[in-house]
Amino acid sequence: MRVIVQRVLEASVQVAGETVGKIDKGFMLLVGFTDKDNNDTIKKMVDKILKLRVFDDENGVMNKSILDIPDTKILSVSQFTLYADTTKGNRPSYIKALRGEEAIKLYDYFNQVLSNYITVQTGIFGADMKVHLVNDGPITITLERE
């Protein structure tokens, strides 16, 4: 499982010109799965995301988690291209990305577990999405569990 975590001031996702998910301050997550991922992987990743200390404390030091900051939310967007392999040639291979039928189950479970702790907005799995965000910092961190 790979997750790109971006600390944002705002983020939204559109499908066919309609906004389907939108947040103000919080995390914008790009989420990808591989065949080794399962519910246990997801629980560990959610724990890592929620405890990631990348928000400033009263001294301006990144020492607070998203759960420590009032009114923060998460925008979660599925992105199988996180498993792109470009080691051979110029056309990426996505063989390591989990197939859609299985990935959607894990993606839904991931968002369900996250929503037990914080408000979560999402894109639409498998749709052609337009993602807009204002990265705060910029803070962008790649998390991986295999």
Enzyme catalytic residues: 79-81
Going along the chain, which residue ranges are E strands?
A: 2-15, 18-23, 26-32, 55-56, 62-64, 73-78, 120-122, 129-144
Residue 84 token pair: 């792109």
Closest CA to 7 of 22, 30, 25: 25
